Chain A
Amino acid sequence: MFTLQELKRSALISLWFVFLTFPIMVVKVNSIEKTVQWRWMNVVYVLVGSFVLSLLFRYFLYRKEQQSGEDEQQGDNTGRSLIHRLLIVPKYRNMIYGVLLGTAVVFPFLTSSYQVNIMTTALMYVVLGLGLNIVVGLAGLLDLGYVAFYAVGAYSYALLNYHFGLGFWAVLPIGGLLAAMFGILLGFPVLRLRGDYLAIVTLGFGEIIRLVLENWGGFSQGPSGISNISRPGFFGIELSLEMAIVYIYYLMVLFVIVTIFLVNRLQDSRLGRAWIALREDEIACQAMGIDKIKTKLAAFSLGALWAGIIGVVFAAKTTFINPASFTFLESAIILSIVVLGGMGSIIGVIIGALVLILLPEYLRALSEFRMLAFGAILVCMMVFRPQGIIASIRRTYTYKPRNRDEA
């Protein structure tokens, strides 16, 4: 399986690793007692560990190459993953949906409110990921300032609640629409831009919104933020803290279901096809009669709509917001959810969000190595599955005259 040469290369890599990590892994200087401690055992650990890891890496690369060769021979161009194959069969599909829904419903009763809180956050990112997926995955417009719309939603609830005492349910649509309006506002100047240029402008837009919120003290109370935002009302009943957490959790489950339903419909609609055509070839797409302006603005505003709605939920959940919650890092995380999960694939984005948000939480056991492990997992993902966890597939149609059927 491994040739001598490969073993040699792995050995070299591990030696190199020992050399690189020598100062931090082996030498330990105690600056108080002025002694130096040599931990020679660590050399062995690093040597063996990196050797095994490097071999594993090679092995998986080898297997990946084998597999892609086989795929080409079979002429399997749809590239359906196991999940897609399961979801095609109605019996399995209903079973999977039932199990998922059941788990989601009983989850708060089985776990602590800490767990419920984390899960709510993860679900929020599912919706954010699905929203950004419209812009990035379907329409192919790289948006690095997505968090700006999230901020618009959050601040519209915080401010309307603070000044006018408006409730959660009243602001939910307002926040969404405001964000959608900002989406159009951003969309207009970037109509002509594509790729890197677009990414830079959207990045700038995201920063502008954050900086305005940070510096326009009279409007947004600056970096100190807005506190005491009311939680969502439940038919006028005051909920205890525990109850409120569970309530928001169920709200998010509902939002996720609605979002999946709507995004799925969008994707298979006339508009969804136009987005994908725009992503594939802008000139051909215009030549086929698609209005580029309308299509792009629709993508930006619809993507922003979801961010705005989740922004409102975020403000209501944490009851306190400040500009620090809306940094570029946030945009980057949402973008990695979409890329990691699989661009344009709904199931992929959902799994991506759950993995990316829950993994750091549950890796807490590894304490300071948490982010390191997280980074390693991300790198491995991109090497072995660049198309994302679940690659998107296109809907197929089986044609029967006068009687269409979904396949």
Chain B
Amino acid sequence: MSETILEVHGLTMDFGGVRALNNLDLDVRSGEIAALIGPNGAGKTTFFNCLTGLYLPTKGDIFLYRRDKDKKISLKGLKPNKVTEHGLARTFQNIRLFPMMTVLENVMIGRHCRTKAFVIGAFFRGPRTRREEEEIIEMSHRILEKVGLSRFENDFAMNLPYGAQRRLEIARALATEPVLLLLDEPAAGMNPYETIELVNLIQEIATDGQSILLIEHDMKLVMSLSDRIFVMDYGKKIAQGRPEEIRLNPAVITAYLGEEVDA
């Protein structure tokens, strides 16, 4: 249960003179929901982008443990698609679906890195390609059912209601069979009802044994969902611990509410 699956050591990211991430340490254990919180501009999304290979960090190490394969993989400097292949899948803060593809196809794209057929397979559509294609469709359909989107299956992704688009992003990431699921502000812009639905969904996914690391602004959501919380401010980690510890941590309160000024 408490084996570490993701380990980040001294991660630093500079954009010119701006240090967006400063010597960040973080670890995620198998089966838990970890949360990364912090005020706007603290560097949370930058951290995700470093993890998933969109940015090349200036310094530091990122290791992913594949217990099933008994391997420790360094993710630093890998291309985004390789990172996903190794088992890190993400959603985006500003939704990045494939708008002109159907909902099912969006999820099918998630299966891409677990399947093989290429030009020859496409041309001849042999038994192996056909079987693979059937598996892709079946699995995508199952995932859509799980997130409650199967009735939209053949609609264009761009025509989905906002909350459903968010869930579709999660479904697409799940389709890559990730070791660790990274959710970047999954509840951003959702109404209270949609947020409750989302909390239920994330809990459900976690019950299936999926490890999750999420960035979130909604404190209620973070407190109710996460097992452990990391707090960032100005690119630095300022606190980590269980939700009830974080709630009372003076450094966190200062970061969010500002310092008290003595009269």
Contact = CB atoms under 8 A, between A and B. Distances in A.
Given A276-B101, A281-B96, A397-B154, A290 B118 contact: no
A193 interface: no
Nearest to B125: A265
Interface string A252-280: 00000000001001100111111011001
Given A289-B112, A397-B137, A280 B118 contact: no
Given A270-B133, A396-B102, A287 B80 contact: yes
Interface in B117-152: 117-119, 121-123, 125, 129, 132-134, 136-138, 141
B194 interface: no
Nearest to A77: B159
A288 B136 CA distance: 14
Q: Which of B105, B110, B117 has the most CB of A within 10 A?
A: B105
A273 B156 contact: no
B81 A399 contact: no
Contacts of B121: 269-270
A118 B240 CA distance: 75
Given A276-B98, A394-B105, A288 B176 contact: yes
Nearest to B145: A399
A302 interface: yes
Interface residues of B, number: 49
B85 interface: yes
B92 to A, nearest CB: 7
B53 to A, nearest CB: 8
Contact of B123 (A265, A274, A277): A265
A284 B80 CA distance: 10
Given A273-B108, A274-B109, A298-B118, 16 more contacts: A274-B112, A276-B101, A286-B81, A287-B84, A287-B89, A288-B89, A288-B109, A288-B112, A290-B113, A291-B81, A302-B119, A394-B102, A396-B102, A399-B138, A399-B141, A401-B138
B122 A277 contact: no
B155 A77 contact: yes
Contacts of A104: none
A274 B114 CA distance: 13
Q: Which of B84, B96, B104, B153 has the most C-beta atoms of chain A within 10 angstroms of its own C-beta?
A: B96
B85 to A, nearest CB: 5
Contact of A289 (B54, B81, B118, B134): B81
Interface string A292-328: 1000001000100000000000000000000000000
A279 to B, nearest CB: 8
A111 to B, nearest CB: 34
A321 B113 CA distance: 45
21 contacts: A78-B154, A266-B122, A269-B122, A269-B125, A270-B118, A271-B122, A273-B112, A276-B105, A280-B101, A283-B54, A283-B80, A286-B80, A287-B81, A288-B89, A288-B172, A288-B173, A289-B84, A289-B176, A290-B81, A291-B81, A399-B153
B207 interface: no
Interface of A: 77-78, 262, 265-266, 269-274, 276-277, 280-281, 283-292, 298, 302, 394, 396-397, 399, 401, 404, 407
A284 B136 CA distance: 19
A288 B101 contact: no
B110 A269 contact: no
A289 B85 contact: yes
A290 B112 contact: yes
A42 B114 CA distance: 70
B52 interface: yes
Interface string B71-91: 000000001110011000110
A288 B84 CA distance: 6
A331 to B, nearest CB: 24
Contacts of B132: 270
Contacts of B141: 399
Interface of B: 52, 54, 79-81, 84-85, 89-90, 92, 96-102, 104-105, 108-110, 112-115, 117-119, 121-123, 125, 129, 132-134, 136-138, 141, 153-156, 159, 172-173, 176
B171 to A, nearest CB: 11
Contacts of B79: 286, 291
Nearest to B113: A289
A275 to B, nearest CB: 11
Contacts of A273: 101, 105, 108-109, 112
A270 B136 contact: yes
Nearest to A290: B112
A321 B125 CA distance: 37
B109 A277 contact: yes
Contacts of B110: 288-289
Nearest to A261: B123
B97 to A, nearest CB: 7
B96 A284 contact: yes
B100 A280 contact: yes
Contacts of B123: 262, 265-266
Nearest to A271: B122
B101 A269 contact: no
Contacts of A283: 54, 80, 96
A77 B113 contact: no
Nearest to B133: A270
Contacts of B97: 280-281, 284
A407 B137 CA distance: 14
B99 A280 contact: yes
Contacts of A284: 92, 96-98
Contact of A394 (B80, B89, B92, B156): B156
Contacts of B137: 397, 399, 404
B36 to A, nearest CB: 18
